[in-house]
Amino acid sequence: MGKTLYQNRQMLLRAGGSLLSALLLVLLFANNWHEVQTALQQISLLHLLMAFLLVFVSRLFTILRWYVLLRSAGVPISFQQTVSLTFTGLFASNFLPTTIGGDVVRLAGAIQMGYDRAVCLASLAADRLVNMAGMSLTAPLGLYQIWLKAPTIVLSAVLPSQKAHSIWQKAGVFLQRMFQSLVLWFRQPGALLLALLFALANMFCLFGANYVLLRALGAELAVWRVLGIYSLAYFVGLVPVSINGYGWQELTSSALLAALGGIAPSFGAAVAIFNRILMMLASLPGAFTLPGILAQLPKNEQS
């Protein structure tokens, strides 16, 4: 009973967050929606195809990252099965506006295939942590841009203070949990390194797609700045304030592009819209396997 109430409360909060993010986007672009439409029309089909190819290739690196972690943990899963589960999870994350996350769907599918639940659950946690580790490698490029704009913000997180102490304390707890999740792979550093390389390749493809779209709009922004801005947007977007990040992620990336990159809000909105559409299109293969996995989920996890 208590768990159900908590889940319903979380669902309501995220639904409210999605609505609030959408309203903020509307308010942000209401006065220059014509410029947003013009920017959307300015991106050619060729640039869209290039961006989609990069997004789709990034999905393949996501598959390889999880596959390496599973196999190195002793799970005898085939590459074809990993492809099926990953695309199913991606589809669920993009198209199901519920509390069912892509990781829940992947775990359910792996259990349905007869693989060890505990190991598969640990591999999902490790997969997410390795991806975050890859993103963190380029996050300093974004922090440097914040330093150039507002050094006091960076100093407040570094210099001795109650706020800084709280930040570092939370970072310590996170690192402790990270080590606990990766304990199965500490004896296989080669597998972890390979998974990290796939995470970096995934990141470069995703951010490369955004770079292509920005260039198509005529925005002059160095590659390292794009990497830094979108790395920060990734971490801010992890805050669970909306369902599947809808609205919140678009708002975050658009705001950071404007604040740090000097990109017109209309350009940032156009890139965010196309990026969301391309991510959804790239996950469509998962539609073929999702129904079978959902049928195996408990009823309380499908609501």
Q: Report yes or no on 13 lying in a domain.
A: no
Could you tell me which residues come within 8 angstroms of residue 245 by beta carbon, excluding any fewer than 6 positions away? Answer: 237
Q: Report yes or no on 17 lying in a domain.
A: no
Q: Report yes or no on 23 lying in a domain.
A: no
pLDDT of 193? 94
Query: How many residues appear in the chain?
Result: 303
**Under-50 pLDDT residues of the chain:** 1-3, 5-13, 16-17, 20-21, 27, 300, 302-303
Q: Is the dihedral of CA 101, 113, 286, 230 positive or negative?
A: positive
**Residue-range definition of the domain harbouring residue 95:** 43-296
Q: Report yes or no on 28 lying in a domain.
A: no
Contact assessment for residue 185 and residue 73, using Cβ atoms and an 8 Å cutoff = yes
pLDDT of 146? 87
Task: Tell which residue, 16, 14, 18, 10, has the closest CA to residue 246.
Answer: 18
Q: Report yes or no on 86 lying in a domain.
A: yes
Contact assessment for residue 261 and residue 214, using Cβ atoms and an 8 Å cutoff = no
- Helix and strand numbers, DSSP H then E, in the chain: 13, 0
Q: Report yes or no on 209 lying in a domain.
A: yes
Q: Per-residue pLDDT tens for 27-38? A: 455 555 666 677
pLDDT of 243? 57
How many domains are contained in the chain? 1
pLDDT of 13? 46
pLDDT of 8? 47
Give the DSSP letter of residue 220.
-
Q: Report yes or no on 159 lying in a domain.
A: yes
Q: Report yes or no on 24 lying in a domain.
A: no
pTM: 0.80
pLDDT of 253? 87
pLDDT of 157? 52
User: What are the structure tokens assigned to 93, written together?
Assistant: 């994350």
